[in-house]
Amino acid sequence: MEQTPFKQLVKEKFPDLSAGQKKVAKYLMENLNQAAFKTAFQIGRQAAVSETTVIRLSYSLGFESFSEMQNIIQEELLLKNQADQSNFTMMPTRSSDPFKKLILNEIHILKQLLNRTNIDEIWKAVDTLIKADQVLIAGHMLSHAAAYWFSYMLGTIRDHVTLCAPTDDIFEKVANLTNNSVIVVFSFPRYSNCTIKLAEYAAENGFCLIAITDRLLSPVGRFADIILTTEESVETGSNSIASIITLVDLIIEGIYEKDQERIQTHQQKLEKMYSSFNVFTE
């Protein structure tokens, strides 16, 4: 049976961990490269918990020992490093050309979208969005641009897609959802409290929640049923709008692949409306 990637395993088990174990889990998720070669005592000191708590975390995650957990982490890092080495020439350089450096950095970030965990979660998102009777999409502050793009693109291939604009009162929109509806939230630093509260409400009331964010244990990631992530820029520490848009474009492409008949019907209806209202200039 295939081993669940470590970060995904932590995300799945996180709600059931003790307060101390959650501290360790957060530390590991944010410092995996360094923690992979530290002792349980050293990790505990960095996470401000006891060595015993670190060991108990390994048991809570389903490992037989701390050593087994650490071996899995090291193996995953080795595989990742091998993949990174194969793409070394595409890594950002210290070129004096700022445009070249930016483009190479974007390419590196985009390549990370193709990791196995992300692809599996993308297909889950595709299937969930196809089955949903309604889709509510939200993203505030810097995340709103990506939310708008996704709502527009999704609205061209299926019906009952609603966007929560930053100035909207979302309560009426949420009240119209059913048990078969899906909420999609975009949340990147600095995280909007409004988006976090919506994610928390979705989780508490049984709505399927898809989170598009920067890390598995981000404020909305902890509530999500499906979570898609894109890493920060290694140069600036900021998130790439290009990688976020590409991530949602992958979802759209997946829906095209699996739901062609319904998409064709929906787009034919749209084209008739476009023609009737003379929307576009040919």
Express each pLDDT in 164-175 by its tens digit.
987 767 888 999
Q: What is the pLDDT of residue 81?
A: 66
Both structure tokens of 116: 């196995």
Which pLDDT score is estimated for 249? 92
Q: How much is the pTM?
A: 0.79
Q: Distance of CA 55 to CAs 5, 6, 12, 42, Å?
A: 19, 15, 18, 12
| pLDDT at position 24 over 60 | yes
Instruction: Give how far Cα 75 sits from Cα of 12, 25, 31, 158, 173, Å.
Output: 20, 18, 16, 42, 46
Q: Give the other-Cβ count within 10 Å of 55's Cβ.
A: 20
According to DSSP, residue 49 is labeled S
| pLDDT for 108 | 76
SS3 at position 257: helix
pLDDT at 94: 56
- Which range (53-62, 114-123, 144-153, 247-256) has the least confidence? 114-123
Q: pLDDT tens across 178-232, in order?
A: 999 999 999 998 899 999 999 999 999 999 999 999 988 999 999 999 999 986 5
Question: What CA–CA distance (Å, rounded) separates 151 from 138?
Answer: 9
For 116-273, CATH gives 3.40.50.10490
Q: In this structure, which CATH number among 3.40.50.11740, 1.10.1040.10, 1.10.10.10, 3.40.50.12280 belongs to the domain 6-86?
A: 1.10.10.10
Question: How high is the pLDDT of residue 234?
Answer: 44
Binned at pLDDT 50, 70 and 90, residue 149 comes out as very high
> Cα separation of 132 and 38, whole Å?
45
Whether the pLDDT of residue 29 is over 80: the answer is yes
| pLDDT tens digits, 57-102 | 999 999 999 989 988 888 888 777 665 555 544 455 555 788 887 7
Q: Cα(169)–Cα(138) distance, rounded to whole angstroms?
A: 12
* Residues facing 227 on adjacent strands: 211
* Residue range 226-263, pLDDT digits in tens: 999 986 544 445 567 888 998 999 999 999 999 999 99
Q: What confidence score (pLDDT) does residue 85 get?
A: 54
Q: What is the pLDDT of residue 78?
A: 79
Residue ranges covered by each domain of the chain: 6-86, 116-273
| Per-residue pLDDT, 238 | 56
Domains 6-86 and 116-273 share a fold: no
Instruction: Give Cα 11 to chain centroid, integer Å.
Output: 12
For the segment 19-39, the average pLDDT, to the nearest whole number, is 90
